[in-house]
Structures are given as structure tokens and as C-alpha cells.
């Protein structure tokens, strides 16, 4: 009984984190929300934007092989999965 309860809680938390992803571009910052995790990235603090195919990190775990990694401050980054990167960002040039 206890093992079943723990399994349900862990599974529910995982699904909440993975399925409730929301990216919002505001005038001054990017807001990324996924489950209980929140990131607020000021545009002026962005140091690098690059394409990534790492599927084991970021908010969209295992959902996309095409993502953008936005680095800000030192050793901090957020990965954003876009369904159609080239259509949504036609003028973007991605660093490989």
C-alpha cells in the first residue's frame, strides 16, 4: 500500500513537471514554468543562445530533440523546446 502511494505521488509529480510547460515572452524577460519550477530570464542577462539536442535536461524532458539552450549569468541555462524552430524564428541564426 505504501509503495503504491509513493509510486502515484512520484508519477503525478513527474507528469505535472513535464506536461505543464509554459513559455511566455514578455517585454523585459522570458518566463518559463514547468510544474513547481519557475525561471525568469531577463533579456539583457542572456549571454548565449544555441541549438541543442540533449533530451535528458531542461523543462521538456524527452519531448523534443530540437531545442534552444539559453544561457544567462554564469553556468545557468534554460532549454526551450520549440515545435517548429525555423518557422517560429525564421531570422534566427543558431550557433552549433
Q: Binning pLDDT at 50, 70 and 90, where does residue 62 land?
A: very low
The predicted pLDDT at position 84 comes to 53
Evaluate whether residue 95 is within a structural domain. Answer: no
Instruction: Tell me the percentage of the chain whose pLDDT exceeds 90.
Output: 14
Evaluate whether residue 61 is within a structural domain. Answer: yes
Give me the CATH number covering residue 7: 2.30.29
45 pLDDT more than 50: yes
Evaluate whether residue 96 is within a structural domain. Answer: no
Q: Binning pLDDT at 50, 70 and 90, where does residue 56 land?
A: low
Residue burial 47-84, b: 16+ Cβ < 10 Å; e: rest: eebeebeebeebbbbeebeebbbbbbeeeebbbbbbee
Evaluate whether residue 51 is within a structural domain. Answer: yes
Query: How many domains in the chain?
Result: 1
| Region 24-33 average pLDDT | 87
- Residue-number span of the structural domain to which 67 is assigned: 2-88
The predicted pLDDT at position 9 comes to 93
Amino acid at each position: 500500500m505504501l509503495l503504491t502511494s509513493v509510486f502515484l505521488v512520484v508519477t503525478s509529480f513527474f507528469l505535472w513537471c513535464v506536461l505543464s510547460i509554459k513559455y511566455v515572452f514578455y517585454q523585459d524577460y522570458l518566463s518559463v514554468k514547468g510544474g513547481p519550477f519557475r525561471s525568469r530570464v531577463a533579456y539583457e542577462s542572456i549571454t548565449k543562445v544555441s541549438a541543442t539536442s540533449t533530451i535528458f535536461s531542461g523543462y521538456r524532458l524527452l519531448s523534443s530533440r530540437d531545442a534552444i539552450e539559453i544561457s544567462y549569468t554564469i553556468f545557468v541555462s534554460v532549454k526551450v523546446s520549440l515545435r517548429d524552430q525555423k518557422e517560429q524564428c525564421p531570422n534566427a541564426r543558431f550557433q552549433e
